[in-house]
Amino acid sequence: MIEQKITILGSGTSQGIPVIGCHCASCSSTDSKDKRFRTSALIQVNNIRILIDAGPDLRMQLLTNRIEEIDAVLFTHEHQDHTAGLDDLRPIILKQKKGMPLWCSSQVQKRLEEQYSYTIKNANYPGVPKFQYCNFEEDHFEIEGVKIVRIHAKHGELDVSGFRIGAISYLTDLNYISDEELEKVKGSSLLILGCLRRESHYSHFNLEEAIELGRKSRVPRILFTHLSHHFEVQSQLTRALPKGIELAYDGQIIEIEY
Ligand SMILES: [Zn+2]
Ligand SMILES: [Zn+2]
Ligand SMILES: [Zn+2]
């Protein structure tokens, strides 16, 4: 029996909720479940902690959820709302006294090397974080003994990676996945799935498309993430969702044995 735990660190789209200066129903809501940091999650398998994405809210996400150790970071893609907080791992990297393994595609590595060029150019400057790039070479790989399957999807023109880790599949920022790749998701107990808004979008699933993909995946429990303020407040939207589909919320913890 393997014990697995996922913590939703953020469930909001690129501007988060509330959006600065917006006074719509979602942004004005006093319900804590309507406050959403940028999309990210921590998956723990036994004692290995794997962070998925490192967006601009990372510092507060780690503090709020009292996360003090991370063994590796997995990147879905290179957009700023998934990478802009990487420098905030410094205290953890300094404490662990080794480079942080960053698992990503070569395309994402290139962007991270540009964005964090000082970690290469000024690598010996005191306090500069040490990163250890690990490219996805195979779709099946292991991080400290934890088996991971990479899932390929499309986010508009961009290639993105989703992940199957044990009984959990994680797919965000996508508007297309082939049937072949969806096979990798089948048999999961939990699917975290990106769903932006009701209106269609050129690079994200809208509500209807995400519900359809959820059905096709046959995963019994699905949590929507990467939600935007264009949706109604969560208590209202929740009532409109089919059985087996919920909205993720920040700080949500789900434990699974498989
Ligand atoms: Zn995003
Ligand atoms: Zn708003
Ligand atoms: Zn994106």
**Ion ligand 1: residues, Cβ under 5 Å:** 81, 173
The pLDDT of 59-84, averaged and rounded, is 98
CB 192 within 8 A of CB 164: no
* 13 CA distance to ligand 3 middle (Å): 9
CB 50 within 8 A of CB 165: yes
Nearest ligand to the CA atom of 23? 2
- Quote the pLDDT of residue 97: 86
The pLDDT of 51-69, averaged and rounded, is 98
* 187 CA distance to ligand 3 middle (Å): 26
The pLDDT of 189-196, averaged and rounded, is 98
The pLDDT of 53-62, averaged and rounded, is 98
Which two structure tokens, joined as six digits, stand for 69? 């150790």
CB 199 within 8 A of CB 209: no
Best CA proximity match to 175, nearest among 189, 191, 190, 196: 196
- Quote the pLDDT of residue 1: 86
Domain ranges of the chain: 3-257
Q: Where are the alpha helices (DSSP H) in the chain?
A: 25-28, 58-64, 80-83, 90-96, 106-115, 118-121, 179-182, 207-217, 234-239
CA 58 to chain centre: 11
- Quote the pLDDT of residue 120: 95
% pLDDT > 90, the chain: 96
Architecture of domain 3-257: 4-Layer Sandwich (3.60)
pLDDT tens track for 101-137: 999 999 999 999 999 999 999 988 888 999 999 999 9
- Quote the pLDDT of residue 126: 85
- Quote the pLDDT of residue 255: 98
* 225 CA distance to ligand 1 middle (Å): 10
Best CA proximity match to 175, nearest among 150, 193, 190, 149: 193
% pLDDT > 70, the chain: 100
- Quote the pLDDT of residue 2: 87
Spatial separation of the C-alpha atoms in residues 177 and 188, rounded to whole Å: 16
pTM of the model: 0.97
| Burial of 86: CB neighbours in 10 Å, binned 0-12, 13-18, 19+ | buried
- Quote the pLDDT of residue 130: 96
Is the pLDDT reported for residue 218 higher than 90? yes
Spatial separation of the C-alpha atoms in residues 148 and 205, rounded to whole Å: 24
- Quote the pLDDT of residue 93: 96
Residue type, 42: L
- Quote the pLDDT of residue 171: 98
pLDDT tens track for 23-52: 999 999 999 999 999 999 999 999 999 999
Nearest ligand to the CA atom of 37? 1
